[in-house]
Chains A and B, each alone.
Chain A
Amino acid sequence: MFCDDNSYMAPLHLAGRLIMENGGETYRVEETITRMGRAFGFTEVESFAVPSGIFISYRKSDGSIETAVKRVQRKGTDLTRVDAVNAVSRRMEAEQLSCEEVMALLREIEARPPKITKLGLVAAVALSSAGWAIMFGGGVRDSITAFCVAFLGQAIAFALDKAGMRSFVSTLLGSFLGTLLPMLINQLGGGLTVDATVAACLMPMLPGLAMTNAVQDTLRGDMVSGISSATSAVLTASMIAGGALIGTTVFNLLTGGGLL
């Protein structure tokens, strides 16, 4: 044991941050931190997580309490990382790991490059949209259109993300394209089921999951997390509706103006 009582905060925070950043639930952050703290041998460990920050405190062997706060930001969803951090905390329950060993394991998870390239991710989104188009009652042509539009939308979203744009800009633009393009293609004789195609194109952006998580958090008694996820879900839905409204308006201007 080379760690003194103060250095246990770093692995606890890193684990919490990794779970939160990669889309894990707030209760999982709290549960994992408490489990790790117990495994380190602290009897009194408390953690409180909300989507924008993590609070941890534990009682040291000299009786004083160590507390620290960390700001975090949700980045995206990487379930492999969440699962890996969870596995580390489980392993700590089973065998004695030192502070350095845990830190090394977590750093390795953080540094591990994603297995799928950006192009692969774009293709995955396009594939899923192609599936949704059929699920929403569309045909083969809807499916192909949804594939292409979703591919384009996600590629633009990644490009904007790389340029440091806030995520709502790409949501706005994505829903604009996802509404306008299927309507235009239909107008030009594509013969689409417009509803199904538009729905399929918007599906990757829609905040249904965030909303479901919000209700689950609330049911569990995590009111702050619940309200904060619900707020962000409503904001995303508004952005998509805004983009779709602009898309519809542009379409009406184009067709009403006799251009098409």
Chain B
Amino acid sequence: MMELTLQLLLKLVSSFVGTLGFAIFMHAPKRAWLPASAVGGVAYALYWALQQFSLSEPLAIFVAALLGSLLGQLLARRMQMIATIFILLAMIPLVPGLGLYRCMHLLAQEMYSAGADAGVRAMVDIVMIALGIAVGSFTFRLFVRPAVPGKGAAK
């Protein structure tokens, strides 16, 4: 248990640092750096923890993306910035870019079935993230009053 907690902390901190680097590289506004990276770290840590409790990969990634989306919207509202900044950055540790690459790499080495397997897995993860973000924004809109009157129905 002790070791699990330590590992969780390590995942949290490492994905925080990774997201922070991206936030700077993507020219996010300076006051968004730390909060956005924190959301990224928390979302990834949740994803990792859910996997430890043997939740299926797609479900774990969906829940993590949902949390990232909700926290991102909340922060965006509080800090008066576009939600994209927080949501985009929060998804970076979750997004299976590596899976897409692995798929292409295997295909290039003529390992077609392994490549297809990696590709489908990556695609499922990506769809789950997109769904998580969508459900997050939908829920947020249901429960939180739009900031500008009459803006609520807009996309």
What is the interface of chain A, defined by CB distance below 8 A to chain B? 22-25, 27-28, 31, 77-83, 86, 90, 93, 114-116, 120-121, 124-136, 199, 202-204, 206-209, 211-212, 215-216, 219-220, 233-234, 237-238, 240-242, 244-245
Least Cβ distance of A71 to chain B in Å? 23
Which 8 A-B pairs have CB atoms at the shortest separation, nearest pair first? A128-B21, A206-B97, A208-B97, A131-B17, A241-B104, A208-B95, A131-B18, A124-B24
**Within the complex, what minimum Cβ distance (angstroms) separates B120 from chain A?**
13
| Apart from the given pairs A80-B29, A82-B82, A131-B19, 11 other A-B contacts in the complex at a CB distance below 8 Å | A83-B81, A90-B148, A124-B22, A128-B17, A130-B21, A131-B18, A135-B15, A204-B22, A211-B97, A240-B104, A241-B101
B52, CB-defined interface residue at 8 Å: no
Q: Does B130 contact A (CB under 8 A)?
A: yes
Within 8 A of A (CB), among B104-155: 104-105, 107-109, 122, 126-127, 129-131, 133-134, 148, 154-155
Q: Which of B13, B21, B134 contacts A216 (CB 8 A)?
A: B134
Q: What B residues does A86 contact at CB under 8 A? A: 82
SS class, residues of chain B in contact with chain A: helix
Are A238 and B11 in contact, with the CB atoms below 8 A? no
- State the Cβ distance, A258 to closest chain B Cβ, in Å: 23
In the bound complex, how far is the Cα of B107 from the Cα of A93, in angstroms?
A: 51
> For residue A203, which residue of chain B has the nearest CB?
B97
The minimal Cβ–Cβ distance linking A208 to chain B, given in whole angstroms, is: 3
Q: Are A124 and B21 in contact (CB under 8 A)?
A: yes
Known contacts: A79-B29, A80-B29. The answer to whether A126 contacts B21 by CB under 8 A is yes
User: In angstroms, how far is the closest chain B Cβ from the Cβ of A205?
Assistant: 8
- 23 A-B contacts (beta carbon < 8 Å): A22-B27, A78-B27, A79-B82, A93-B148, A115-B30, A116-B27, A125-B25, A127-B24, A128-B20, A128-B25, A129-B18, A130-B21, A131-B14, A134-B13, A135-B18, A136-B98, A204-B22, A207-B100, A208-B126, A211-B100, A215-B130, A216-B134, A244-B101
